[in-house]
Structure 1
Amino acid sequence: MTTPIYLGIVGVGGVGNAFLEQLGRLSSPPKLVLLARSSQTLSSSVPAYSPCIPFTNWEDSAKSTSLVKSGALPPAEIAAFLASAPGRAVLVDNTSDLALAQAYPIFLERGVSVVTPNKKGFSEDIALFNDIFSSAVKGNALVYHQCTVGGTLPVLSTLRDLIATGDEIIRIEGVLSGTLSLLLGEFMPGNGTSNARWSSLVSHAKEIGHTEPDPRDDLNGLDFARKLTIIARVIGIEVGSPGSFPVESLIPIELSSLPSSAEGIAEFMSELPKYDAKMDAAKNAAQEQGKVLRYVGSIDVRTLAIEVGLRPIEKGNPIANLQGSQIVSIYTKRYGANPLILQGGGGGGEITAMGLMADLLKVMERLK
């Protein structure tokens, strides 16, 4: 007899809604019994955990008296609700919330598996990273977080497969920010030339939604550093935090202390053109070498050196031709001088939701 799977979803934004739509297409979907966003939680009635929440038109169904409505619930209460379901339970965390990520061990110890693109739990303090996986063992639960690095690119699963089959990873190099890949690809194309000003490119990308609401969240390199931290930990390097290795920020130091308020963002955007000369100088230096500028992260496994920042790249390198996509080159003992290369778009609501769905399907198969 197939074990029923009970699902709780936290986060119903762009990724969350795309994920719900994809869930509705499954022939044998799990039972959705909890759906939470920042100010509201919708759940099935207990102890029957019925009726289930529909994947489509769930907002209309929230008016039903047969479903339980409440405000935002603390993670411990969500964990208790899912752990008491009459079957195996899975939490899908579509947020970037640190408090929820810090509670993953609570879910896992109680047997609730976790599927998430939330990088916080896997890139904050190393103690939390270790606690997440040890709690999964204690609770006989599963953790899938493929989308924390590279979107749907199978970066983490590939690295785990290489290690499990006895290969030796020597070096990892890549571009793991679609936004910075796009900006630098337009600022300095791999083929051809561009006279675009850096500040104008950042402004345009912000206007069309290709950056975070505050572009500094892309330009500071922290998100990229989190991804590199996760990669390093997965291959066995105990990186304490994303701040424990050099990360070059593309935010002018004079503008780095502006507040994160709407006023602060507006001031940053209006002041940024004054600092275009710095990026122009880096571009000219790369041109003189016959190279192009790219924002690259690297891990040298043998020396344990990890760094993220602007680098001049040879035009024949696959990284040089990027313009919006992500790429990871994995150098190993078996692959020798020809690295294993993973490349693709990797981002956006529909694509990230697809990656989450793939992880959920793997979890469901293993929990049966």
Structure 2
Amino acid sequence: MKVLKFGGTSVGSSKNINNVINILENYSKTGPLACVVSAVGGITDKLLLAGKQAQNKDQQFLETFQLIKDKHFSIIQELNPVNNQEILGYVERQLEALKSLLEGIYLINELSPKTSDKLVSYGELLSSFLIAETIKNRGLSADRKNAQELVVTNSNFTKAEVDYQITNKNIQDYFSSAKQTITILPGFIARSKSGEQTTLGRGGSDFTAAIIAAALKVDQLEIWTDVSGMYTTNPKLVKQAYPIEKISYQEAMELSHFGAKVLYPPTVQPVLNLNIPIHIKNTLAPNEAGTVISNEDSDANGPVKGISNINNIALLTLEGSGMVGIPGFSKRLFETLSQEKINVIMITQASSEHSICLGIEEKDAENAKVAIDAIFENEIALNKIEPLIVETGLSMIALVGDNMKNHQGISGKMFSSLGKNNVNVRAIAQGASEKNITAVITESDVKKALNTLHEQFFESKTKQLNVFITGVGNVGERLVEQIKQQKKYLKDNLKIKLRVIGLSNSRKMIFGEHGLDLSNWKEQLESGETASLQGFFEKAKALNLRNSIFVDVTANKNVADLYAQYLRESIAIVACNKIACSSDYENYKLLKRLSLKYNAPFLFETNVGAGLPVIDTLRNLVASGDKIKSIQAVLSGSLNFVFNNFNDTTKFYDIVKQAGAEGYTEPDPRIDLSGVDVARKILILARESGVKINLEDIENTSFLSEAGLKSDSVDDFYNTLIADEAHYQKLYASAKSNHCQLKYVAKFEDGKASVSLQEIPEGHPFYNLEGSDNIVMFYTERYPTNPMIIKGAGAGADVTASGLFADIIRLGND
């Protein structure tokens, strides 16, 4: 004998019922079957709604009734297009009785628990009948047995308790003489000893199946639903979730208690002591393995078997110095909640006895507050304790696993990974058995928390990075293309799953919660929504994805002004925009503090030297205890390109134009040629060396003509370059006559910094600096005479993009 149960979704349509019949036909070839079915999907809710409407004198109960009728008649017609009169006749009579019941509720304006049980029983009675008759019409040996004739309970309506002695005998006697191969039984419904209709409460159909399986001592109970077993976590929130192959009874009950909808804990009880395995299978995919629940200890998935959650939680905190060392507070607290029929889901108390923290359903919070404040009214008046503190909008998440107690560091990994993603834990509970570690968090963080923990405990150490890029012009476009090109390499070799979630330019922005398709991102962006810097931030915040990274590929002050907001949301920042780090010193330090406080890295390697590891090298020197004595550098690839190509046979205007066309200068070349960009770079290096300094403290000796410095626009500036060609030729002639090269040099020494155009003599490390290369020389206590030198390409879209990419990868390796 095999016992199978099919839930509401499995029998929710004619298509799904046909799947059920096919499964039963295949199983019947190996022996007799007992098949427990739920009401047609959604019907129980409609029955309860119709009852409430009738009780409230709302004539819409007739419309709800009609929906129930139409649903059943539609399924019957689709399953049995011919030879259906007997089925339709029976169902019609049952529905007329249902309508009379609803009209009675409407007339007396009352819906008692007893009447409610009678009302909802129609769902299972109708579904079991039409399924049994359809199977018989297909020529299979089948019959329906009303479970109300077998399962006997007390009169505790809506959640009746089973009399197992009578029930087991009824089940055994019936099946010992049953002739049919397939027996269809309605789940959820039962009958009291006095003959009144009762129900078994939430998960009642599973419970019915477990009662029958235990009474018949079958080898296995199969529960068929619309998913392929119990998942490592909620697959609707975590795409990477997968079915658990084997799990223990205790683990299954823990996961079910914390929101896993596949199984309801009381279901396990009748089969638990008999060690009858439960097999969760998918009606829509019957060949998939599903999950086997038994008492067999399996560590195949590691110590953590699953992660679950419950939403709509309220946290109650009773605290006060008057509680310390005084017995009886806990007793009074829990007695009060018991009297109010409020279920306590979680308890935690500090060893100081100064506070007790409880988790309850949010719907009970107001009632709990009134009752508890009343019972402790005297202590509150005497300031011995505070009025009950109630926090709402919370959820519980739980790690579950029988073997967690045998593995060190589970709690540490859990809370560390949550902390890195700014998931604030409000309360923690862990039993001595260590089968469950529970944390209370803000409900808005549930999706991020589940994804974070699943990545930590169930995925093959692949870290997912979610990137939001603002500024997809020259450099930004190269960055997106580099990401597109290297995605597979990163996943295969560095275990980094890099997803671009958001893209924005000055006009449009687009988002894809599960990652944008980079094969046609330009076309997508063109048809995106209107760009907004604040809107881009709000979207990144609302998505609330783990390991989020904001990448700033602009030179825009308004973008830099948003950094603090991103960091406060634990969104890491990678920037080539120098404005934030060269802004007022207090703002620079604020960003550093926020980065540490919210565990959100702030990386800006490309601020100096594009893709060269200048800042990283400097930080390593300082972190290792070395002290910076001085820095000498050529930090502008743009200016180096200009002066390496400018001579007495060229025009200064032409070279500057060429530098812009090849992407070496900003769109406004005055930023580069005025020396401001170089000043910002040496300022950042000085600050990273540990010196408090602002931009106005840097001496900037400009080489531009007076007209160039006073130009009002980019076009005006270019006109001055033409008009003042003699000025620039004079600079070149002087250097040539002194056998020198013109280089724009940044210096930092003794807390002071300067930038200026200098004539560099032969033999100096800067003399032969070619193209757009940068060079930085660090003189330190460890490198007093022979400096540490970093040299290489310091400008250009590709190298800047690669520097940004390197910072992103660095975050993936943290």
Q: TM-score, normalised by structure 2?
A: 0.40
* Cα drift, residue 365 of structure 1: 2.1
3-state secondary structure, aligned to 1:120:
coil
Call closer, same or farther: CA 1:183–1:283 in 2, change over 3 Å. Answer: same
Q: Does 1:78 align with 2:527?
A: no
Give per-residue Cα distances to partners, 1:192-228, cap 9 Å, x unaligned: xx65564554455456654444433322111111111
Query: Is residue 549–residue 571 contact of structure 2 (8 Å, CA) maintained in 1?
Result: yes
The answer for the alignment partner of 1:147 in structure 2 is 606
Counterpart selection for 1:317 from 764, 768, 772: 764
Call closer, same or farther: CA 1:117–1:265 in 2, change over 3 Å. Answer: same
Give per-residue Cα distances to partners, 1:62-103, cap 9 Å, x unaligned: 589xxxx4211233x433322342422110111111111111
Distance 1:218 1:86 in 2: 37
The answer for the alignment partner of 1:158 in structure 2 is 617
Distance 2:803 2:596 in 1: 24
Q: Does 1:351 align with 2:814?
A: no
Query: Is residue 328–residue 343 contact of structure 1 (8 Å, CA) maintained in 2?
Result: yes
Counterpart selection for 1:237 from 681, 688, 691: 691
Query: Is residue 199–residue 276 contact of structure 1 (8 Å, CA) maintained in 2?
Result: no
Distance 1:63 1:214 in 2: 25
Matches within 5 A, 1:54-69: 54-62=517-525, 69=528
The answer for the alignment partner of 2:731 in structure 1 is 279
Distance 2:468 2:728 in 1: 46
Give per-residue Cα distances to partners, 1:2-22, cap 9 Å, x unaligned: 553322111111111111111
Structure showing greater radius of gyration is: 2
The answer for the alignment partner of 1:40 in structure 2 is 508
* Cα drift, residue 116 of structure 1: 1.1
Q: Does 1:119 align with 2:571?
A: no
Give per-residue Cα distances to partners, 1:220-241, cap 9 Å, x unaligned: 1111111111111111111122
Call closer, same or farther: CA 1:140–1:171 in 2, change over 3 Å. Answer: same
Query: Is residue 203–residue 269 contact of structure 1 (8 Å, CA) maintained in 2?
Result: no
Query: Is residue 299–residue 305 contact of structure 1 (8 Å, CA) maintained in 2?
Result: yes
The answer for the alignment partner of 1:294 in structure 2 is 743
Q: Does 1:4 align with 2:464?
A: yes
Letter in 1 for 2:701: E
Distance 1:350 1:186 in 2: 21
Give per-residue Cα distances to partners, 1:272-316, cap 9 Å, x unaligned: 2242354146425xx34x54332111101xx21211002232311
Call closer, same or farther: CA 1:170–1:59 in 2, change over 3 Å. Answer: same
* Cα drift, residue 323 of structure 1: 2.4
Distance 2:735 2:657 in 1: 19
Letter in 2 for 1:336: P
Call closer, same or farther: CA 1:95–1:211 in 2, change over 3 Å. Answer: closer
Counterpart selection for 2:810 from 337, 362, 365: 362
Query: Is residue 638–residue 795 contact of structure 2 (8 Å, CA) maintained in 1?
Result: no
Letter in 2 for 1:271: A
Call closer, same or farther: CA 1:61–1:234 in 2, change over 3 Å. Answer: same
Query: Is residue 184–residue 323 contact of structure 1 (8 Å, CA) maintained in 2?
Result: no
Letter in 1 for 2:707: E
Matches within 5 A, 1:123-202: 123-187=582-646, 196=650, 198=652, 201-202=655-656
Counterpart selection for 2:780 from 321, 327, 332: 332
Call closer, same or farther: CA 1:166–1:5 in 2, change over 3 Å. Answer: same
Call closer, same or farther: CA 1:101–1:20 in 2, change over 3 Å. Answer: same
Letter in 1 for 2:503: L
Letter in 2 for 1:79: F
Call closer, same or farther: CA 1:19–1:276 in 2, change over 3 Å. Answer: closer
Distance 2:547 2:763 in 1: 50
Q: Does 1:19 align with 2:19?
A: no
3-state secondary structure, aligned to 1:57:
helix
Distance 2:714 2:742 in 1: 31
Letter in 2 for 1:15: V
Distance 1:218 1:171 in 2: 23
3-state secondary structure, aligned to 1:310:
strand
3-state secondary structure, aligned to 1:309:
strand
3-state secondary structure, aligned to 2:693:
coil
Call closer, same or farther: CA 1:78–1:210 in 2, change over 3 Å. Answer: closer
Distance 1:202 1:364 in 2: 38
Larger mean Cα displacement after TM superposition, 199-208 or 109-118: 199-208
* Cα drift, residue 362 of structure 1: 0.8
The answer for the alignment partner of 1:191 in structure 2 is none
Letter in 2 for 1:321: N
Counterpart selection for 1:259 from 712, 722, 737: 712
Give per-residue Cα distances to partners, 1:125-163, cap 9 Å, x unaligned: 112211111111221111111001001111100010001
Query: Is residue 679–residue 755 contact of structure 2 (8 Å, CA) maintained in 1?
Result: yes
Q: Larger relative CO (CA 8 A, sep 6+): 1 or 2?
A: 1
Give per-residue Cα distances to partners, 1:39-77, cap 9 Å, x unaligned: 111113xxxx24x2112211334589xxxx4211233x4
Instruction: Tell me how large the CA RMSD over aligned residues is.
Output: 2.3
Distance 2:740 2:465 in 1: 52
Call closer, same or farther: CA 1:36–1:339 in 2, change over 3 Å. Answer: same
The answer for the alignment partner of 2:754 in structure 1 is 307
Distance 1:9 1:128 in 2: 23
Count of aligned positions: 344
Distance 2:516 2:500 in 1: 5
Counterpart selection for 1:225 from 675, 679, 690: 679
Query: Is residue 151–residue 346 contact of structure 1 (8 Å, CA) maintained in 2?
Result: yes
Q: Does 1:250 align with 2:703?
A: yes
Larger mean Cα displacement after TM superposition, 53-62 or 200-209: 200-209
Distance 2:559 2:639 in 1: 28
Distance 2:537 2:694 in 1: 27
Larger mean Cα displacement after TM superposition, 176-185 or 220-229: 176-185
Letter in 1 for 2:697: S
Matches within 5 A, 1:86-125: 86-125=545-584
Q: What 5-or-longer segments of structure 2 have no aligned partner? A: 1-454, 457-462, 492-496
Query: Is residue 185–residue 321 contact of structure 1 (8 Å, CA) maintained in 2?
Result: no
Distance 1:116 1:280 in 2: 35
Letter in 1 for 2:799: I
3-state secondary structure, aligned to 1:122:
coil
3-state secondary structure, aligned to 2:620:
helix
3-state secondary structure, aligned to 1:344:
strand
Query: Is residue 663–residue 796 contact of structure 2 (8 Å, CA) maintained in 1?
Result: no
* Cα drift, residue 266 of structure 1: 4.1
